[in-house]
Each structure stands twice: as structure tokens, then as C-alpha cells.
Chains A and B, each alone.
Chain A
């Protein structure tokens, strides 16, 4: 029997300088949880977030950054020829925050 995720995970993130922190995730699917950091719309870091509630961004390139927490949503095991999921993917589960370096 394949698993089907129900409900919507939610978490709140905060930022102090470069230090990001997160709340517990409610309705937690237990799958991969990552911080996704973007700059000028480009992903510059995807960092595991499950084991720690905090993450300090160390990139020194000046600019406006945006952070969000994402969790892997399983929608079926279909893959492309490279072995990557086609329908299943990381989805946003938190508010988005901006910070400046």
C-alpha cells in the first residue's frame, strides 16, 4: 500500500541577523525538511533542518536573501530517467523571511 500524506505541515520561522530559527512543525509528515535560501530568486543553499531548529547562513556575498522552510511531499514514486521524482517535491511549509548580508 502506498502512503498518502494528509493535512498541511506548518511552521513559523524567525530571523535575527543571519541566524534563522524555526518552531516545531505541526502536522509533520516526517519527511525531508530543509531550509531553502535564495538570493535574487536563485537558490543558493538547501540545508537539512530536521535535526536542528536553528541555522546560521554563512554566505558572504552581499545582497538580499530570502529563507523558507520546505518539506518533501510524496505524491507517488514516479521518476524521470535520471532517477529524480517527477510529481513528489519539496513544498513550502513556513512563512518567508528576508535578511540582508
Chain B
């Protein structure tokens, strides 16, 4: 059975899509199925509820990009100006070594699949890599592509009151080369924009911006406003334009969040014990990972954690050591970045395992690119999209393996080169989505595949 979102497209039973069914799907797209049309299909039973039973996904996006030679693809035999300062340690998987500053991760490598041959061929900016890894596409302002969480939101919708796609803690801001980071819904419309938390959950005065009623407004008053807006929306709906329908949905989502006790609980980390908050780490990444677990536990399908919202003037992975606004060095990696990541990531995997959630949650650690094999004259490493390492765990991912490899200096893939769209395809596949039969409305509402790439088969074998 072919699906466009939840809609089953009629076909000859059991024999795959027919020319006629493709034409029907195509004409539905060309005629522009509006959201109410999709919803009426759902009401009439045409929607396949079983498609809602996909796994969840938590993605930790390491903004700035760790040096692969300093973390998960070490080259201890290389000359000093390439191998860097850190030493590798053994893991609980024979033959796989990682950086000494990930001692806890080294004990759970059997749950993790490293992908060591990632690369892309477009520019060496953060934004190029963000667009690739957030959407599976390179694009410009005239051809925006949706964030993977927006794709999930559009195709599978919400499970409860929480948005299907949530980004913690902040959206990516200035990373140097423009505003296109791949964290928007693009042509899928405002109803499928990720919900950006917009606050630091590690702060003692943490408050979700969109969940706090404006000063002086009670929930009764909010409900009254909602009724009024509903009436206004009814009038607008008669005009029957897609943009207004999208806005209606966005209003509903905002009000659901404002008024739902379940939503407020999901974001309330004080309901966790001090021990568990400590285990994740009382810092922005740690508490974001804890919140991500709470959100998927309560119905959010896709959580993206941006580890940093900029690369300027902060301690982050962007290790140029330039002496100015990009002055991250080995000292940042050793004292702050690697320990915090090791502590938070392993807490998340442990916690999901203990709660019986890891089989139903895909965990991905992604970044824009790698860093130059040669250490620059100031002791840092610069941008290098020619090779890097990311990894996945949970769901059906077979841990305990390193897929692909790089050459002796970590400059380029040596075998099994992997490109970003394959990562997106692997995420969708790991979530349980059949990429051959599941489609979404593309530009102009034409049905398109979620991603034009195949999953990395070794992840699942």
C-alpha cells in the first residue's frame, strides 16, 4: 500500500503501486489537498492509524562540529600535527577505540554504531552542513527544504498535545554564513514548524516561553481568547485559503500547549529526582537530554537538541583557536565539551534502557562536518567536510560496529563513503518508516519520497 502521509492510495491488493494509483496520487497532489481535506480523509477512515506506530527519535546536534580525529576516529599512528593531543582508549567492543575523554561512552559502545566515513562536497561552512544533516538536502532561500522533524510532523502528526517536533533549547542562530540552518518546515507550512523551547532548562528560573501565560492573564481568560479566535478562524476558514488553515492549526497548537497540564508536566524537570538531574549533568546539554526523554515519553515524536546555538564567543566544538571570537582549543574539549557530552549521552542511553524505551527511540548524534586533519598554527583545527564521524543508537540500530573508515590522516573516506541523505534515510528507516511506500506532499503538493536516498544497510544487519 502506498501512503501519502496518512492517506492510503488505492492499489491492486498486495502487488505494489500501479500506474493508476500513482496517477491518482499525483492528481491528488496536483489538485492540492488542503489540510481539511486530509483531516476529512482521516475522519472517513481512509487514514492508516497503524502508521502512527513509528519509533521516536532524539537527535543531538553538535553545532560547531567536533574534530573527528580528536573524538571518534582517532589516528594514534599519524604524525603529532595530525593525531592531536588526546589518546585513544579501548571500548567494550574489541577493535573500536575512541577518545580518552569519553570513558563512559567507551563502556556502552556495544549500543552505538559509529559512521566514520561521512562527507559532503559542498562548502565548508556550518550552514552547508546543517542544511545537509537537518534536511538531507543542500538548498538556497528559493528552494527551502523541511527539517526532518517537520517531515515527521507532516506525515505522522501529533500523538497527543505535544508538538510532533520539538527543538531544545534554542534554534540555531548566527554560525557565520547566513540564516539557512535547515530548522524550518519550509513548504510543509507553519503548522509543522518545530516547536522551539527558547529557554535553558538548566537555569533555576527556567520557564518555557510559550507555556507561560502573559502576565495578568488567567487560564480562563486564555480560554475566552481561544473561543474568540475560534470564531474568527471560522470566518477566515470560509475564505478557504491554505495559509489560513495553517495558521489555524498553529493557533490550536499554541493554545493546546498553553492550557494543557500534560504539556506543562512534560517540560517540568522539577518532577525528576535530584539524582537523575545530576546524572544527566546540571548544564544546558544534560538537562536538554533529560527533557528530551520526558518529551518522547509523553508523546513527542522527534526531539532535536542543538548543542549550542552559535559558534561565536562561547565554549563550543568549533575549535579554531583563533585567539578571538572563535578561540576554542583542546582545553575546551578536555575540561568541558567531552566530559559534558560523555556524561549526558550515556545518561540518556542508560535512562532510556532502564525505562524500556531504547527499543522505541532512535538516538542520533550529528554534526555539520569534521575538522582539518592538520592542526593549524594556533593549535586548533578548521572546517573539513571531507570526512567526519557521527553515530546512532537505539531502535533497530545494531550497535558495536564502526561503519566505513577514513584514510591514514582522516582526510577522506577510505571505504564505504556515506553522504548526509543516507543518514536521513537511515533515521526514517530506523523509526520504522517504509521509505518505499510512505510519501509526503512536496512543493506544489506533489507526492514525493521523504528522502531520495537509501538507508545504510549495515546499521540494521
Which of A's residues lie within 8 Å of B, judged by CB?
1-7, 24-33, 48, 50-51, 72, 74, 77-79, 81, 83-85, 88, 90
Stretch of B237-245, B320-328, B405-413 lying at the A interface = B320-328
- Contact indicator A50/B323 (Cβ below 8 Å): no
Q: Which single member of A3, A5, A50 contacts B339 (CB below 8 Å)? A: A50
- In angstroms, Cα B332 to Cα A3, docked, is 13
- In angstroms, Cα B200 to Cα A6, docked, is 12
- Contact indicator A30/B203 (Cβ below 8 Å): no
* Residues of the B chain whose Cβ atoms lie less than 8 Å from the Cβ of A7: 204, 282
* Residues of the A chain whose Cβ atoms lie less than 8 Å from the Cβ of B396: none
Q: Please give me the residue from chain B that is nearest to A3 by CB atom.
A: B284
Which of B's residues lie within 8 Å of A, judged by CB?
103-104, 107, 169-170, 200, 202-204, 274-275, 278-286, 308-310, 313-315, 321, 323, 327-332, 334-336, 339-340, 342-344, 378-380
Shortest CB-to-CB span from A36 to chain B, Å, is 14
- Contact indicator B104/A51 (Cβ below 8 Å): yes
* Residues of the B chain whose Cβ atoms lie less than 8 Å from the Cβ of A79: 323, 327, 329, 331
* Residues of the A chain whose Cβ atoms lie less than 8 Å from the Cβ of B279: 28
- In angstroms, Cα B103 to Cα A65, docked, is 27
Supposing A1-B309, A30-B283, A83-B330 touch, asked if A72 and B339 sit within 8 A by C-beta, the answer is yes
Shortest CB-to-CB span from A32 to chain B, Å, is 4
* Residues of the B chain whose Cβ atoms lie less than 8 Å from the Cβ of A32: 334-336, 339
Q: Which single member of B282, B308, B323 contacts A30 (CB below 8 Å)? A: B282
* Residues of the A chain whose Cβ atoms lie less than 8 Å from the Cβ of B204: 6-7
- In angstroms, Cα B282 to Cα A30, docked, is 6
- Contact indicator B170/A1 (Cβ below 8 Å): yes
- In angstroms, Cα B336 to Cα A74, docked, is 8
Q: Please give me the residue from chain A that is nearest to B199 by CB atom.
A: A1
Shortest CB-to-CB span from B314 to chain A, Å, is 4
- In angstroms, Cα B282 to Cα A37, docked, is 26
- Contact indicator A83/B331 (Cβ below 8 Å): yes
* Residues of the A chain whose Cβ atoms lie less than 8 Å from the Cβ of B284: 1, 3
Supposing A27-B278, A29-B282 touch, asked if A1 and B336 sit within 8 A by C-beta, the answer is no
**9 A-B pairs closest in CB distance:** A30-B281, A51-B103, A83-B329, A77-B315, A30-B343, A28-B278, A72-B335, A2-B314, A32-B335
Q: Please give me the residue from chain B that is nearest to A7 by CB atom.
A: B282
* Residues of the B chain whose Cβ atoms lie less than 8 Å from the Cβ of A48: 103
Supposing A24-B275, A50-B103, A83-B379 touch, asked if A88 and B309 sit within 8 A by C-beta, the answer is no
Q: Please give me the residue from chain A that is nearest to B338 by CB atom.
A: A32
- Contact indicator A2/B274 (Cβ below 8 Å): no
Question: 6 pairs across A/B with beta carbons < 8 Å?
Answer: A28-B282, A29-B281, A29-B283, A30-B280, A30-B343, A31-B336
- In angstroms, Cα B380 to Cα A79, docked, is 13
- In angstroms, Cα B204 to Cα A7, docked, is 9
- In angstroms, Cα B202 to Cα A84, docked, is 26
* Residues of the B chain whose Cβ atoms lie less than 8 Å from the Cβ of A33: 339
- Contact indicator A25/B328 (Cβ below 8 Å): no
- Contact indicator A77/B104 (Cβ below 8 Å): no
Shortest CB-to-CB span from A25 to chain B, Å, is 7
- Contact indicator B314/A1 (Cβ below 8 Å): yes
* Residues of the A chain whose Cβ atoms lie less than 8 Å from the Cβ of B335: 31-32, 72, 74, 85, 88, 90
- Contact indicator B339/A1 (Cβ below 8 Å): no
Shortest CB-to-CB span from A77 to chain B, Å, is 4
- Contact indicator B202/A6 (Cβ below 8 Å): yes
- In angstroms, Cα B203 to Cα A2, docked, is 12
- Contact indicator A85/B343 (Cβ below 8 Å): no
* Residues of the A chain whose Cβ atoms lie less than 8 Å from the Cβ of B107: 51
Supposing A1-B310, A3-B284, A83-B331 touch, asked if A26 and B278 sit within 8 A by C-beta, the answer is yes
- In angstroms, Cα B284 to Cα A26, docked, is 16
- Contact indicator A31/B104 (Cβ below 8 Å): no
- In angstroms, Cα B283 to Cα A83, docked, is 23
- Contact indicator A31/B283 (Cβ below 8 Å): yes
Task: Knowing that A31-B339, A83-B380 touch, tell me 5 more A-B residue pairs with CB under 8 angstroms.
Answer: A5-B282, A24-B278, A50-B104, A50-B343, A51-B107
- In angstroms, Cα B331 to Cα A48, docked, is 15
* Residues of the A chain whose Cβ atoms lie less than 8 Å from the Cβ of B285: 30
